[in-house]
Amino acid sequence: MTSAVAAPPATSGKRPVLLLRRINDRLAAELRSRFRVLNFYESSAPLLAFLAAAAAGPDPPLAAVVVAGGAIQVNAAFLDAVPSLGCVVTTGAGVDHIDLAECARRGVAVAGAGTVFSTDVADHAVGLLVDVLRRISASDRYVRRGLWAARGDYPLGSKLSGKHVGIIGLGSIGSLIAKRLQAFGCTISYNSRRPKDSVSYNYFPDVTDLAAASDVLIVACALNDETRHIVDSSVLEALGKDGVVVNIARGGIVDEAELIRALKEGRIAGAGLDVFEKEPDVPAELLSMDNVVLTAHEAVFTTESNWDLADLMIANLEAFFSGGPLLTPVLPK
């Protein structure tokens, strides 16, 4: 039995916006200065009941700001609950949590984060790779436990320069990763839906072939039906016992069970993971592996990118309400 939700009172002047993500105080203040904010996280109601109550009010919301990563799915049921909606602004680079075709069918515009996060995610990917290869986090734990004096030097890591790096997805983020790793003297290859005329990197239409030609495999593509578990047992086998996987995209792109099995059996050398299949739950097996570096889906987050994202979210909302084009529209493929 769901709890009843009171419809929000009518408010003249400010345009109502659904807020379906947690935000910092600065962004909350800026949103409230411009819009009448209907904050899901200030309600005890289930999501669909909250949406229905907002839609039933005398001043139903026309726009929504939603969190990325799958915590809230903007699908037919969501849109049925709040039929007044005309615009969805998501705060992530990925849009696997939004049914773009359904939004397009209903005339609901969608705005994404554009390239706000690209630089930070590319930096984070390189940081994870350096950490795994040079065993920085593991060595830090070794020193902190007093084992350097007791057992001697920590085992050697592996150099980054000269590595053959395969990137799955050469969009905004993948391209920046490639440029950074070129500066380290790495050889870059990539897989994507089609070859990119703007680059000279080796193109592989098949991910298994890409892995076989690589020392490192970096996942930087979108999650969709075609890419789910695209990094599977055959890809990991092709990567080989000295290979490293880095994933800064979405957890579902990598078959997590197969990755754990390959790590445990020594069929690949290590992994740097910022994303997981069932966040925030991380498989216990990964926690005990010194050849795995884990971060909490934080590649996108820096102080600077948070401010840039806040400005972009507000600009997209203002554009929608003024009848202008969205700054960072997302269209169905």
DSSP 4-50: P-PPPPP-SSSEEEEEES---HHHHHHHHHHEEEEEGGG--S-HHHH
Nearest to 291 by CA among 166, 177, 149, 129: 129
- Nearest alpha-carbon partner for 330 in 70, 17, 21, 103: 103
Task: Choose among 320, 332, 263, 261: nearest CA to 99.
Answer: 332
Would you say 98 and 111 are in contact if contact means Cβ atoms under 8 Å apart?
A: no
Which is nearest to 244 in space by CA: 229, 259, 230? 259
Q: Pick the catalytic residue: 36, 97, 124, 297?
A: 297
**Catalytic, out of 30, 102, 237, 279:** 279
Helices (H) then strands (E): counts for the chain: 13, 12
Residue 22 known to be catalytic: no
Q: For residue 250, indicate whether it is catalytic.
A: yes
For residue 141, indicate whether it is catalytic: no
CA distance 294 to 286: 8
Chain centroid offset of residue 81 CA: 26
Q: Kind of pairing, strands 202-203 and 35-39?
A: unpaired
Selecting among 97, 250, 258, 277, the annotated active-site residue is 250
How far lies 249's CA from each of 7, 98, 159, 299, in Å? Answer: 38, 16, 24, 9
Catalytic site positions: 250, 279, 297
